[in-house]
Amino acid sequence: MTERRILFAVRDGDFAAWKAAFRQASPQLALVKQPESGIRYALVWRSPSELYPTLPDLAVIFSLGAGIERLLHDPAVPRTAAIVKMAEPGMTASMTQYILWQVIRHHRRFWELEAAQEEAHWLDQDYPAPWNRKVGVLGLGTLGSAAAATLRDFGFATRGWSRSRKAIDGVACFAGDAERDAFLDGLEILVCLLPLTPQTTGILNADLFARLAPGAALVNAARGAHLNEADLLSALGSGRLAAAALDVTGVEPLPAEHPFWHHPRIFITPHNAADIDPATAAAEIARQVARFEAGQQLEHEVERDRGY
């Protein structure tokens, strides 16, 4: 393959680190910072709409992150260009670690221990075995499937739900609207890793919370718009939910005056559950470019009509 240029259009990205990673991954791929004629590939994240008219030959957009809503809703993004979701080992590992951390935190109710320490109280706490803890992953894409498999490996009674049928050894998989209530029934910890579509916007609401086990916990590492924030506060206030961990919020950064910051049962992280490693990401993009140049189908390509 002759040398191909990839435009690095990532706001606040470390160009030097990414350039070095691409140089190591494939000498035939040259990362550039400025639009040039003939560029067919672009690595983007929160890039301005003004960028796309300067790239008439653009064939593939690699989104530096799982979220692709901005690209789908931006009329300046050419419909002739394929959009590829980032699915690389570093990002998957980061997300899986975050989900495991938060599930164990809720499973062991670490917030009770933190409160007890503040009061210098030796708490006599118990908790069930993981196989007696019902945990569900809402969304079984690349990240959700990896998270569900890891939770299974740690012994949790794990379920998964997706729009279309998936199969993961040792995970009870549910699919479609007709099976969603069965998936939710009695869950004690719910993890949301759904794509954001009109159908999933606001899905984490009072009706869904009512289908979980009383005192269940929520982990949302997908999109802030999945969550009805007022319903979460109400569910926590009534005891319907015991706690929540949120890596994403409706407005980011979360305003200092927002009640989530000071709620004793809400744990906030700054949308950093899944960091991308330039080395593993560059290797994955190089592999995808080689496939595309060979006339093969891109992997993890967005289906525009479905929204993910």
pLDDT tens sequence across 92-104: 999 999 999 999 9
Cα gap 152→230, rounded to integer Å: 32
pLDDT at position 66 over 70: no
Structural element, H or E, at residue 22: helix 15-25
Mean pLDDT of the chain, nearest integer:
95
pLDDT at position 169 over 80: yes
Q: What's the pTM value of the predicted model, to 2 decimals?
A: 0.92
Q: Which of 57-66, 104-113, 120-129, 198-207 is least confident?
A: 57-66
Structural domains in the chain, CATH included, are: 4-88+276-293 (3.40.50.720), 90-268 (3.40.50.720)
Six-digit token string for 94: 């980061």
pLDDT of 205 reads: 98
Cα gap 200→219, rounded to integer Å: 16
Range 212-217 average pLDDT: 98
pLDDT of 11 reads: 84
pLDDT at position 159 over 60: yes
pLDDT of 69 reads: 85
Cα gap 255→283, rounded to integer Å: 37
Beta carbons of 140 and 168 less than 8 angstroms apart: yes
Question: Tens of pLDDT along 19-31?
Answer: 999 999 999 899 9
CA distances from 232 to 160, 165, 288, 289 (A): 22, 29, 40, 43
pLDDT at position 67 over 90: no
pLDDT at position 225 over 90: yes
Active site positions, annotated: 223, 271
pLDDT at position 36 over 90: no
Q: How confident is the model at residue 251 (pLDDT cuts 50, 70, 90)?
A: very high
Question: Tens of pLDDT along 85-139?
Answer: 988 899 999 999 999 999 999 999 999 999 999 999 999 999 999 999 999 999 9
Q: How confident is the model at residue 35 (pLDDT cuts 50, 70, 90)?
A: very high
